[in-house]
Amino acid sequence: MSAMSERDARRRTQLAWGLLLLSAALLAAGLAAGSEGWSVPGLMAMLQGSDAALIVGEIRAPRTLGAWFVGALLGLAGALAQGLFRNPLADPYLLGSASGASLGVVLVLAASSLAAGQGQGLSMATLDGLQRVGLVSAAFAGALLGVGFTLLMARGTRHSLRLLLAGVVVGVMLSAVGDMVTTMAPDALRGKQAFLLGSTGFLSWGSCAALAAGLLVAAPVAWRLSRLLDALSLGEDSARSLGLALPRLRLALIAAMALATGVAVSQAGLIGFVGLVAPHLVRRFAPSPYGYSVLASAGMGGCLLLLSDVLARSVLAPVEVPVGVLTAVLGGGYLLWLLQRRGLD
């Protein structure tokens, strides 16, 4: 093994341990961060079995773990998007999943507003519960349908450029439809805005189970098919010369990306920049084949979103900053710094 290979292997090992330790530290910080800022006594109370255990165990713990899972899914999807399209600016929402999820949420909000206005014998608690379930289902279905519509317009996955253009067109079209719905049902606008900003405040243990299931399905598929991403990094002609069935394998990776994105979006809304920045950080700290990169990007995404969530809860407590705003500030700032540094180089 050459000196460079040994150094790269050492850096990959260091990054893996660093992500593991950082995740553990952020999970502990998430349990201690609440509406009053940092509350280490509250965390100790959980260990002692007092009344504060209900707050920590039923609110902070699922939100903290769920935030890590959401970030992991977005980081994984971002690594797949950047590898599939050989574009460092690709993100998980590239193929219409964001606009599809947003449209699904707007439709549910408009329908629930209409039902509440007409008074159909349902209590407000029942309506709120149905709306919450409907939002999750609609966001997930909308994200998958957006990607499916993109594949239909692109006539499959054979041409990457056509797929990218179809994703842009689908995104614009579905966003326009969502704007038309909010124009006819203005009450849905506030809910749509909250969804677009992203939030981890509604994550429960059920949400954690759904997010973990999505990650357990998408991550092995991404790792198993990572050789396609390595081959595509050499060019499509080189990948074909290796005997790979590009359309079929690309479709499988797009399905994994859509699943990861759909599950994350359905539980936490649209949280930007995590899926874009996480793969960049992994490549910067430990350049590696995609088999390692996609899994490390998942860990990096989990750490990024959990860090943002902890800061969102505690920086201006008791006021909570929308986590999507914080990820945009941190992620955008990092990318601007990276562009400036490369420009100076």
| CA–CA distance, 53 with 252 (Å, rounded to integer) | 43
Q: 292 pLDDT exceeds 80?
A: yes
| CA–CA distance, 121 with 69 (Å, rounded to integer) | 38
Percent of residues, the chain, with pLDDT higher than 90: 29
pLDDT band at 122 (very low <50, low <70, confident <90, very high): very low
Using alpha carbons, select from 147, 193, 188 the residue that is nearest to residue 170. 147
Rounded alpha-carbon distances, angstroms, from residue 298 to 76, 115, 221, 304: 5, 40, 13, 10
Using alpha carbons, select from 107, 116, 269, 96 the residue that is nearest to residue 182. 107
pLDDT digits (tens, 9 = 90+) for 249-278: 888 889 999 999 999 998 888 898 999 999
Range of the domain at 167: 3-344
Any alpha helices (H) in the chain, and if so which ranges? 3-32, 40-48, 52-55, 61-84, 97-118, 124-153, 160-184, 188-197, 205-224, 226-232, 236-241, 246-268, 274-285, 290-314, 323-344
| CA–CA distance, 319 with 283 (Å, rounded to integer) | 35
Q: What is the pTM of this model?
A: 0.88
**Under a CB-based contact definition with an 8 Å cutoff, are residues 32 and 43 in contact?**
yes
> Which pLDDT score, from 0 to 100, does residue 4 have?
60
Terminal alpha carbon distance of the chain? 31
> Which pLDDT score, from 0 to 100, does residue 118 have?
53
| CA–CA distance, 38 with 124 (Å, rounded to integer) | 34
Using alpha carbons, select from 314, 327, 306 the residue that is nearest to residue 33. 314
Percent of residues, the chain, with pLDDT higher than 70: 82
Q: 299 pLDDT exceeds 90?
A: yes
Split into its structural domains, the chain has a count of: 1
The CATH number for 109's domain is 1.10.3470.10
pLDDT digits (tens, 9 = 90+) for 137-180: 888 888 889 999 998 888 877 777 888 888 889 989 998 998 88
Burial track 25-38 (b if 16+ CB lie within 10 A, e otherwise)? ebbebbbbbbeeee
Q: 29 pLDDT exceeds 80?
A: yes
Record the tokens describing residue 42, joined without a space: 């509250």
